[in-house]
C-alpha cells in the first residue's frame, strides 16, 4: 500500500484504518504486508510477530509542480530493523 489513502481506500473507507489492512492480510493468508512507515510503524508492536512486514523506504512526492517523479527516501534500513520488518522495498527507475 503505497499510494495515498484517497487513491487506495476511497471505495472502501474501512481500510483507512491501518489495523484493518493488517487484519485483511492475515485473514486472507498473505505471506507479508508491504507498506509505508506510517502504516507499519503504527502496527508493528501488535502485529510484526504475526505476519512479516516489508517496509517501503521511498515514495514519489507530488508536492512540487510540475511533478518530477523523484523517489524521496522517507525512512531507512535501521528503522525497518527497529520495526521488526522482514525486508524493505524501494522503487527505482533504471536509466533515470
Does the structure show a pLDDT above 80 at 9?
no
Residue 17: closest CA among 36, 34, 42, 37: 42
- Estimate the crossing angle of helix 37-47 against helix 18-27, to 10 degrees: 60
Mean model confidence pLDDT for the chain: 85
pLDDT on residue 81: 95
Kindly report which listed range (3-7, 24-28, 37-41, 61-65) carries the lowest average pLDDT score.
3-7
Residue ranges covered by each domain of the chain = 5-89
pLDDT in tens, 53-88: 999 998 877 677 877 667 788 899 999 999 999 999
| C-alpha to C-alpha distance for 57 and 82, rounded to whole angstroms | 13
> Percentage of the chain surpassing pLDDT 90?
50
Amino acid at each position: 500500500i503505497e499510494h495515498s489513502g484517497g487513491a487506495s481506500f476511497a471505495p472502501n473507507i474501512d481500510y483507512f484504518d491501518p489495523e484493518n489492512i493488517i487484519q485483511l492480510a492475515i485473514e486472507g493468508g498473505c505471506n507479508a504486508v508491504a507498506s509505508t512507515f506510517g502504516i507499519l510503524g503504527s502496527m508493528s508492536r501488535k502485529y510484526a510477530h504475526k505476519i512479516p512486514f516489508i517496509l517501503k523506504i521511498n515514495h514519489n512526492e507530488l508536492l512540487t509542480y510540475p511533478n518530477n517523479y523523484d523517489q524521496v527516501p522517507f525512512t531507512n534500513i535501521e528503522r525497518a530493523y527497529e520495526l521488526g520488518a522482514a525486508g524493505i522495498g524501494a522503487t527505482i527507475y533504471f536509466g533515470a
